[in-house]
Amino acid sequence: AERSATPQLVVVETGGLRLDPAVIESFEADRDVVVVVAREDDPARALQDLAAAPEDPAADVIVGLPDTFVQDRPDVTFAEVVVAGTERLPPILGDTSPGAVPITIRDLCVLFDRATVDEGDVDAPRSFADLIGEDWAGRLVIPDPATTLEGRLLLDALRQIAPDEVVPSWLDIAAALQRNGTVVASTWREGFDTQFIAPARPDGPPLVWGGAGMPAAMVAFEPELPPAPTLGVVPTTCIRSTGLAVVPVGAGQPTFAVQFVEHLLTPEVQVTLVDEIGSLPARRDVPLPDAWTRFALRSTGPLRPTPRAADEPPLAAVWTALLDGTLTTDDATGPDPTSEG
């Protein structure tokens, strides 16, 4: 009976983030509260649940919300969370609510198997435009842009390609990837583990859309996999996803919720937020584990997701429309990738 009277803080994990149980235990140790962890794998559903019951949210804290999903739902607002040390955190997308606090970053890029290049088969790709030629036909695997966060971020990176005489719009690149035999996996994990790494290697596609931190994550978390190929990264293709922690307006335990977000930003917890999907801690001053220092690929100056215009269709719908022929590259060019809006 005494235990049931203890306040409960409901923390919902989403966006692939999984908190180490020690993070929960260390928070409970100094407070009269029990943390209940729930999981919603679909960030869009987590936000939809908030929109459906804004005054009585099921969660006190949501962790791992990708910034792109938050930007797409301006109707969902969060309690303002003021934490110390924000100068150590990366900027977040557009006019995202001030209640959204970055806790992880993850850079997604085109990765390639260096052995394929070293054997003299083809030159290393340098841009998305290189991937639509004959040399790389049928040799790239991507997660489905119509259904996955990672695939959507690929389209967002394509969307920022500056048009030129060869590539009039980003739609031309997207359509060319479809025509060039790009392998579309149902999830990024299926594409990376099954198509790119094992058991299809060495006959699988030598290019994959995946996290720059994946070589380190494989060393740290997946020793049962076959030895990873030595990977290279195409830096011009990288785009950064930021995982956010938010406190819903109407949270039942607002004080503990804010304290939990502050807890996630302590150096001791930040260093635990490296994970099997290649994420890194958001704080720039946190030393990385040895595997990340030695094996993580570097993405200098990654792109950032950009807000869509109010009348611009969802990127997933654009990809599907290109596939089924209801949209052609002559129909639209998308926003000016050099604009600030």
Q: What is the pLDDT of residue 198?
A: 53
Does residue 221 sit in helix, strand or coil? helix
Average pLDDT on 220-242 reads 78
- Report the C-alpha gap between 322 and 303 in whole angstroms: 24
Q: What is the pLDDT of residue 163?
A: 76
- Report the C-alpha gap between 90 and 86 in whole angstroms: 8
Alpha-carbon Rg of the chain, whole angstroms? 21
Could you report the per-residue pLDDT of 181-199, keeping only the tens digit for each? Answer: 999 999 888 888 888 875 4
Q: In this structure, are residues 60 and 247 in contact, taking their beta carbons and an 8 Å threshold?
A: yes
Among the residues of the chain, which ranges form H helices? 21-29, 43-52, 67-71, 114-118, 149-159, 170-179, 188-189, 214-221, 254-264, 267-270, 290-295, 315-324
Report the interhelical angle of 149-159 vs 315-324 (nearest 10°).
Answer: 80
Using CA atoms, how far residue 76 sits from 50, 157, 182, 279, in Å, is 7, 25, 36, 25
- Report the C-alpha gap between 13 and 15 in whole angstroms: 7
- Report the C-alpha gap between 169 and 336 in whole angstroms: 9
Average pLDDT on 280-294 reads 87
- Report the C-alpha gap between 65 and 63 in whole angstroms: 6
Could you report the per-residue pLDDT of 107-160, keeping only the tens digit for each? Answer: 999 998 887 777 766 788 899 988 888 888 888 999 999 888 899 899 999 988
Among 287, 261, 273, smallest CA distance to 19 is for: 273
Could you report the per-residue pLDDT of 4-56, keeping only the tens digit for each? Answer: 589 999 999 998 899 999 999 999 998 999 999 999 988 989 999 999 988 88
Q: Report the predicted TM-score, pTM, of the whole model to 2 decimal places.
A: 0.84
